[in-house]
Amino acid sequence: MNLDIIAQLVQILKDAPEIGAIEIRRGPLGAWSTVRVSKAGHGNTLSGGGGLVVQAPFHSAAPAGSPSSAGASGHGASAPAAPATQLLEIKSPMVGTFYSAPEPGADPYVKVGSRVSSGQVVCIIEAMKIMNEIESELHGVIREVAVENTQPVEFGQVLYRVDPNG
């Protein structure tokens, strides 16, 4: 994919505030296998290999499903739902690759039983070769890590479940 096409995709995102993300997945031999456009505030999970994601923040729009939501399948990353008690969720703010530690071989930022506070880095999500530190907006104790290290994550996917009373 050349820079002209990427620039055109970014311009589309800027011109259409109802679009939250455009995702292009490449198949074998570099051919485009899937193109997904999702509305702002919606993230759908696609099956498939690595891809290029262009994402930009926009004003909120009325929620509606994207045309590709029918037939979309998960990566098997969904953990069993936590009891509806007092657990709160830290969700992925973007599509990318989840890293639990600052570098390979290092201790994870947090694990089950770790106490977190607002503003504390809990993981890294790599998107388009940019490492984005994800900070907690919650105070509490990590009760569940819902994704595995180096696993692809989608926008809005649960990363951690936190007990605010712990």
pLDDT at 110 over 90: yes
Binned at pLDDT 50, 70 and 90, residue 35 comes out as low
pLDDT digits (tens, 9 = 90+) for 91-103: 999 999 999 999 9
Domain with CATH 2.40.50.100 in the chain: 88-163
Q: In the CATH hierarchy, which fold is given to the domain comprising 88-163? A: OB fold (Dihydrolipoamide Acetyltransferase, E2P) (2.40.50)
Instruction: Give the pLDDT score at 40.
Output: 62
Reference 133, options 145, 147, 121; nearest CA is 121
Q: Compute φ and ψ for 12, nearest 5 degrees.
A: -60, -45
Q: Which residue has better confidence, 121 or 26?
A: 121
Euclidean distance between the first and final Cα of the chain, in Å? Answer: 48
Q: Which of 96, 100, 48, 97 is nearest to 72 (CA)?
A: 48
- By CB neighbour count within 10 A (0-12 exposed, 13-18 middle, 19+ buried), where does 103 fall? exposed
